[in-house]
Structure 1
Amino acid sequence: FVELHGAHSGQNMASAVASVVSELDISNKLVALVSDNASNNGTLVDHLETELQGASNYSGTRWDSTKGHIRCLSHVIHLSVMSLLRGVKAIPRNVDIRAFNPGDQTLTSEDAEAFVADGNKEADELDDSGIVDSTVDLASAIDKIRKIAKIVRSSPQRMELFRDTAKSIEDYYEKKALSLGKRYTRKTVKNLILDVVTRWNSVYFMLERALEFSEAIDSLTSHPKVKIFRAYALSKADWESVALVCKWLNYFRSASTMMAAEKYPTLSFSLRIYFVLIAYVSRLEESLEVQGSAALEAGIHACKSKLLEFFDKSTFDSEYYYFATILDPRFKDSLFQSSDGLTSSLFSEDWLIKG
C-alpha cells in the first residue's frame, strides 16, 4: 500500500492512485474503481479522470469517472441499517453512521461477545424524547437490554449470577422433560453481548443473544434480592419489538454476508440484492406492525430512502451493474423481464436467507 501524505482529500488520493496506475502502466486498462460512499471518494474519481488524461503515457479511450465508479454495496447496506437504527432511536443520534469497518460483514457472535466497548456511546446518552409511541418503544427496549448487558459484564460476580440463573432455567426444563419421558437438548449458556453502537452487526448479536436468554434476563429483573436490574425489566411488548428488529437485521445480515464473499464475483448480485432489499423494506413499510408505530415507521422510511438514494446513484451512473448481471449465466436477462411469476421467484423474500 502507498502511504498517503497530507490530508485524505479526494484530490490527494487521486494523485496517489494515478501515480500507482502510471507506475504499473495500466492507465489504458483501468475499467472501474470500487470504493465506499464517503464524499471524498466522489472527489477522488473526478480528479483521477483528470490526472489520467494529463499523464504522459495516457492514450486511447478516455476513462469515464462516472461510469467507472462502483459504490460498495456492503457500505450501502451499512448506511441503510444504521439509518434504520437511528430512525427508531435505537442508537444515539450523534453517532456517525458513515463509519464502516469492512470486517463487520463477517463478524460472528463470538467476535461480538469478545468486544470491549471502551468509549462506546451507550444508552446513557440515548435521547428517546422524540418517540411518542407508548405501546412499542423500541429505543426503550434496546436501551434496557444494553444496560442489562453492561451491568452483567461489569463484574465476574454478576456474570456468574447471570450464568447460574440461565443454568437453573435449563435444569428446570431438563427435569420437566425427563418427568414427561421426553428428551431435552440443553442450551449452552453464553454471556450477554454489549454492542458497539457504530457497528450494527454487534447490535444484532446483542439482541439475538438477549432473545436467546430472555427468561434468564426476566429472572434477573425480578430477582427478590438483586435490585440493580429491576429498573430495566422488559415487558412483553418490549420483547416483541426486539424480536421484530432482530428479524429485520438478520435479513440485512444475509445480504451483507453474501456481498462479503472473496471466492466469487459479487457485482452481478448487486442489482438483485438492491431489488430484494428495497422490496423487503417496502413490504415492511406497508405492514400493520410498522404502520402502528411512529418510531418504526420513521426507521423503515429512513432505511428505504437510503437504499433508493444509492440504488439511483449506482445504476443511473454506471452500466457495469447491468453488464455483470447479463453476463452471469445464472441471471442473463431474467432480471429485466416483466413476468410477475418470474419476478416473484427472483425476488422472493427468502432468497437471501436461502442463499
Structure 2
Amino acid sequence: MENWELKSFLLDFIKLEGPHSGANIKEAFLKSLKNFNIESNILRVTTDNASNNITFLKAVETDLSQRYIHFNTIQNDDESSDEEVDSLIHKLRILIKKIKASSQQEEKFRAQCKVANVPNLNVVLNVRTRWNSIYDMLVRARKLKEPLNTLSNSDLSLRPYVINEEEWVHLLEMEELLKEAAINAINKLKNYYNKTDSTLYAVSLILHPCLKVEYMKDNERERQWIDKTKKSVKNFFELYLPL
C-alpha cells in the first residue's frame, strides 16, 4: 500500500493435484507462501464458506508456528454461517444434555418451570440419526425458554451455555426453516403416493406393529385418505379369505 492506495497483485495460480480437500489446499497454500518467503507477512485470508475451505483454514492455523493470520470468511450479512449455526445448536444441545444428565438439575429445572408458570415438560435432546429431532428440540426449547434462561443464568456450571435474545431469534429462524422444509418434503411425497401400489402400502402400514391406523392419525392424514386405506386393506383380505 503506497499513499494509502490499495495495491493488488496475483502472486500464484496453482493447479491442485488430487481432490480439492482442505488438507490438499493447505499444502498448496503453505508451499506458495514459502516460495515467496511471506509466511510471517500474512494478515488476512479470505475465502467463501465451502466446507473444504473451513477445513483448510483450521489446518493452516494449526500448522503455522505463530497464529498471525486473521481468518475471515465472506458471507451474506443477512445469514449466519454454517459454523455459527452449528455452534448455536451445539450450545443448546450441551445445555440440554447437562440438565438431563443430573437429577438435581432436572429438579431445579422443574422448579423454574413452576415459577415461570409454564407446562412442566421435559427438555428434548436431538438424536443425530433422526433428521427431524433437531426441530423437535428447537420447538420444545422455545416453549421452555424462560426456565432455561433462568436456570442457565443462575447456575455457574451452566452459565457458559446461556442463550441470549439474539441467539433465541436465530433458533426460531432455524425452527421455522426446518418446519417449512418438512412441509415441502411431505407435499412432494404426496405427489408420489398415487404412483405406488397403494394396496400393498396400506397393508404394510396397518400390519406394522409400531404404526397401524394410529400412525395416519398422528401424522394428520386426511380422514378421506384413512377411510380409503382401511377399505383397501379390507378388500385385500376378503380377496384371499378362504371360502
TM-score by length of 1: 0.31
Rg larger in structure: 2
